[in-house]
Amino acid sequence: MPGIVECVPNVSEGRRGEVIDRIADAVRATDGVRLLDRTSDVDHNRSVITFAGPADAVEAAAHALVAAAFAEIDMRTHRGEHPRLGAVDVVPFVPLAGTTMDECVAIAHHFGRAVAERHDVPVYFYARAATRPERTRLPDIRKPQYEGLAAAMASTHAPDAGPSRIHPAHGAMVTGARPPLIAFNIELDTTDVALAKRIAKEIRESSGGLPAVQALGFGLTDPPRAQVSMNLLDTSVTSLARVWREVEERAREAGVRVLRGELIGLMPLDASLQVTADALRLEGLARDRIIEAHFLE
């Protein structure tokens, strides 16, 4: 059987349902690809589309998604809480069954150069597909955001592919290859965004916090709440349960309750087993103790 690749594009639209439908439909219409999930957030004004299949089909679906998103999203009028560089902000390729990381790096490079040529947009390679060490971390590439990218392109942000100018409507795109990650948010029972930002700074790796954790603090509007928004890059290093405890402890010290968690997109089975083992104090809980896992294998 051919290897399976997962693709998890993040697009800068989370409010217009009909637009998100059309972008998802472009993926769904691609032969050989299975649309696994779509998750949207109004405050972030962002959607995450997850699909998988053989490498060639997944790359074709990614191109279809880019074309559909570029036809609908104009960055000149886009506003949202989440940092972003473009209409299709980031397109990671993830190796699943029978696929290697090196193969996903090659897909990302081929896909990124083709997007740059077809759509005249600057493209950056990140994570395992990065061509320079300072572009391994997505937050470092995305730091100027769409509004500041034009000025940064003259110094730190020369693109890896495509023109050395921002596309007015589409912005820029980041693509790469990475292991599975978990996008996970925790809502606090407060409107104190400064508290969420402080907690995020304390727990993220770049500030000396938890390894393999990226975090930011945001304000939500419906209802008004503060949120700690995170990417867990490797749950074998820092688990979901550890992240929850660290956020909850800091919130409690400030006299604030944790209200709920929110999963964006999908998560690996092994990460959920870690949470179960932690909650029930089960040592060595592995897939072979799960009935369905025997059939999945």
What is the set of active-site residues? 82
Measure the CA–CA gap between 146 and 140, rounded to whole angstroms: 13
Hey, what are 202's tokens? 């304390």
Hey, what are 270's tokens? 């092994």
DSSP state of 37: E
How does strand 258-264 pair with strand 213-221? unpaired
Measure the CA–CA gap between 123 and 116, rounded to whole angstroms: 6
Measure the CA–CA gap between 116 and 97, rounded to whole angstroms: 29
Backbone angles phi, psi at 10, to 5 degrees: -110, 120
Burial 220-256 (b: 16+ CB within 10 A, else e): beeeebbbbbbbbbbbeebbbbbbbebbbebbeeeeb
**Spatial CA neighbour of 36 closest among 8, 63, 71:** 8
